Structure 1
Amino acid sequence: MSNIQFIRNQNPKPKPKSDELKFGTIFTDHMFVMDYSVEKGWHDPRIVPYGPISLEPSTMVFHYGQAIFEGLKAYRNIKGEVVTFRPMDNIARLNRSAERLCIPQVDQELLWEGLKMLLEIEKDWVPAAEGTALYIRPFIIATDPYLGVRPSHTYKLFIILSPVGAYYTEGFKPVKIYVTDKYVRAARGGLGYTKAAANYAASLYAAEEAKKKGYTQVLWLDACHHRYVEEVGTMNIFFKIDGVVVTPSLEGGSILPGITRDSVITLARSMGYKVEERLISIEEVFEAHEKGKLEEVFGTGTAAVISPVGELNWNDRVIKINDGQMGEFSKLMYDKLTGIQYGREEDKFNWVKKIC
């Protein structure tokens, strides 16, 4: 778009090799930035060299946590094209998060145009090796230099890009999950359905406790009864019980409506699987295991797409799922989704958007 200013980075960095890529440690040469003020609304969209930003110590985001973000990826498909997966759903979710945190709504088409332009400029940063991608992180922060508690009157929106390696570098390895009924991530009426920075800050303590016990992530239960399954630290959660795919319902507003979660539900139903979105208690999960009906457990998210769960620990009751191996359904969903993303499978749902 002609109204998006572009300032080229005069000191471009060397592109990393695909086998050097990890997650979130390397960033491209440019970033998208846009400002908000009450007088001008969202204005001055620009693509500038990636680098530090200057903020006053009194900037409100540091004190009251008025910050939201998104996460999606760009891929180099089997034709060599750069594509994205369901980007407008991520942009729409950014606005839902913004509404809950009193951040002004962003023009979705303008943000999409800015993202496309940034990706076109940075297309050479999109890795081509199997399983690699360019991670996209849009975020908004409150920028008023003010110590009173109220919504900020000014904001900054950024999009930064990071080439990332294959999540499973040595094949699928089911993760071990620790179920906590001591701490809660979110409650009904709170921020759980948003991608607010505060949600992730609230999850850190329990996650560190789980790691000390040898577990990868935490499975959260509901804040009221400490009984009903909600989500894992960075993923939505699914159970395959006696042939039925079950995932917690979103209706309470305490669970993030994941894009990958929705993609799995849509794909599974289109293939004839029965999928239930409902309350599911941790007792039901363990009882299903005792009866030999708990076939698979897996998480869904942008980073791993599908992450099989091989072990659950709840109140020192430990169960192994599918002998600690990747389940057939989990593998099918992974193959289907990554196949669509990389162009190996037909995109029947028009999820993939070509950039260049």
Structure 2
Amino acid sequence: MDERSTVNAEQYAVTPHPSPASAEQRATLMAAPIFGEVFTDHVARATWTPDAGWADRRIEPFADLTLHPGATVLHYGQQVFEGLKAYRWADGTVRLFRPEANAARMAASATRLSLPALPEDDFLASISALVSVDRDWVPSEGEASLYLRPLIIGTEASLAVRPSRRVEYMLLACPVGSYFSGGVKPVSIWVAQGFHRAGAGGTGQAKTAGNYAASMQPQQQAQDHGCDQVLFLDAREDRYIEELGGMNVFAVRRDGSVWTPRVTGTILEGVTRASVIELLRSSGREVVERDISLAELRAGIDDGSVVEAFACGTAAVITPIARLVAPDFDVIVGDGGPGALTAWLRETLTDVQYGRAEDRFGWMRQVL
């Protein structure tokens, strides 16, 4: 359902919020925001129908939605979303990190869910338009940022099991600090027991709500065992590591190589994952993308050939993994602290994102 168009930010008609947050209210809300719980004054929207395609592009006051109880998203889960961030640099400009990759992944997710793909220029125009209107919500302190959540949902009032003939695109924005409470620290990982994130031919490679809903019970299982996140194994053999609930995973070996599960259709191909691989290879590191069994990972941790492990994703960037836990084992990775390579990767990546280092790969895109 890909559509070609040429859209710019000016085509998003702006309806200003009648009572936006005051400077004082905004400062209070942005002082220490809990991830995803503070929203800016406006939202970007567009509507798709078979006859008009994507139309009615607008920036409007942030408000509750009105949905028909028969909307397809409520009954059949026709929904996809993305996550990316806007960063304020020291010179006052606002930049995005690899937004074209998010646009392409959202289009691929939409196709998998039989939703119309939003063209890249429309995706980028909606961000530029919203960030321009809500520019005062982009943090400038520390490593805070403006998290952007684009989503597409089927809104046709119909219980027929078929693709929705009315679709809404929305873009929300949230000022955020660290994803984990207490800042960056090594996390403990529980190996899912009796649960799998996705199977072959399913929606594992799409960023859609159902995948995350299905991960919540095993995530609770992890928390019940004192762990921060859950690691899923493959659904076919229950043997190979795949990804965490919302992050890709890497293992650093004593010989300097870095291993990560290969993308097979059941793993979400993360933008941060791809960036980490590019950083590692450009620094001369060997990166191996292949099937990695849990037994092999455990053996490497036990004999010291695996010296670090980390997870990565847009929200948390890069997070060190300290422990791997299951009913029959509890092992410490390395010395339990952040490894040297993990720390270097996080610093290098965030320095590029915040303009503290040269953007050698052309990853950053200015929007303001």
Work out whether the TM-score is over 0.5.
yes
SS in 2 for 1:199: helix
For 1:273-284, list aligned pairs within 5 A.
273-284=285-296
1: CA distance, partners of 2:271 / 2:252: 19
Change (3 A) 1:57 1:136: same
* C-alpha deviation, 1:170, in angstroms: 4.6
Residue by residue over 1:329-355, the C-alpha shift from the partner in whole angstroms, topping out at 9 and shown as x without a partner, is: 000000000000000111011100111
Report what 2:243 is aligned to. 231
Report what 1:61 is aligned to. 73
Which blocks of at least 5 consecutive residues in structure 2 are unaligned? Answer: 1-8
SS in 2 for 1:214: coil
SS in 2 for 1:313: strand
1: CA distance, partners of 2:97 / 2:353: 6
Report what 1:347 is aligned to. 359
1:305 counterpart = 2:317: yes
1: CA distance, partners of 2:189 / 2:27: 33
* C-alpha deviation, 1:226, in angstroms: 0.3
1:162 counterpart = 2:170: no
Runs of 4+ aligned residues of structure 1 deviating over 4 Å after TM superposition are 168-171
- AA in 2 matched with 1:40: A
SS in 2 for 1:254: coil
TM-score, normalising length: structure 1: 0.97
1:10 counterpart = 2:13: no
TM-score, normalising length: structure 2: 0.94
Residues 141 and 156, structure 1, Cα contact 8 Å, conserved in 2 = yes
* C-alpha deviation, 1:314, in angstroms: 2.8
- AA in 1 matched with 2:13: Q
2: CA distance, partners of 1:170 / 1:147: 45
Residues 172 and 326, structure 1, Cα contact 8 Å, conserved in 2 = no
SS in 1 for 2:217: helix
* C-alpha deviation, 1:213, in angstroms: 1.0
For 1:1-356, list aligned pairs within 5 A.
1-13=9-21, 14-17=25-28, 18-167=30-179, 170=182, 172-242=184-254, 243-250=256-263, 252-356=264-368
- AA in 2 matched with 1:8: P
Residue by residue over 1:34-61, the C-alpha shift from the partner in whole angstroms, topping out at 9 and shown as x without a partner, is: 0011111111110000111101111111
- AA in 1 matched with 2:268: L
SS in 2 for 1:323: coil
2: CA distance, partners of 1:204 / 1:221: 15
Residues 181 and 227, structure 1, Cα contact 8 Å, conserved in 2 = no
2: CA distance, partners of 1:190 / 1:82: 37
2: CA distance, partners of 1:34 / 1:258: 26
Residues 130 and 166, structure 1, Cα contact 8 Å, conserved in 2 = no
SS in 2 for 1:325: coil
* C-alpha deviation, 1:173, in angstroms: 1.4
SS in 2 for 1:145: coil
Range moving further from structure 2, 110-119 or 162-171: 162-171
C-alpha RMSD of matched pairs (Å): 1.2
Range moving further from structure 2, 146-155 or 26-35: 146-155
How many equivalent residue pairs?
Answer: 355
* C-alpha deviation, 1:2, in angstroms: 3.7
SS in 1 for 2:26: coil
Range moving further from structure 2, 335-344 or 284-293: 284-293
- AA in 1 matched with 2:366: K
Residues 178 and 184, structure 2, Cα contact 8 Å, conserved in 1 = no
Residue by residue over 1:208-253, the C-alpha shift from the partner in whole angstroms, topping out at 9 and shown as x without a partner, is: 1111111111100000000011000010000012221000000x20
Residues 304 and 334, structure 2, Cα contact 8 Å, conserved in 1 = no
* C-alpha deviation, 1:181, in angstroms: 4.1
Range moving further from structure 2, 111-120 or 327-336: 111-120
Which blocks of at least 5 consecutive residues in structure 1 are unaligned? Answer: none
* C-alpha deviation, 1:323, in angstroms: 1.9
Identity %: 41
* C-alpha deviation, 1:291, in angstroms: 1.4
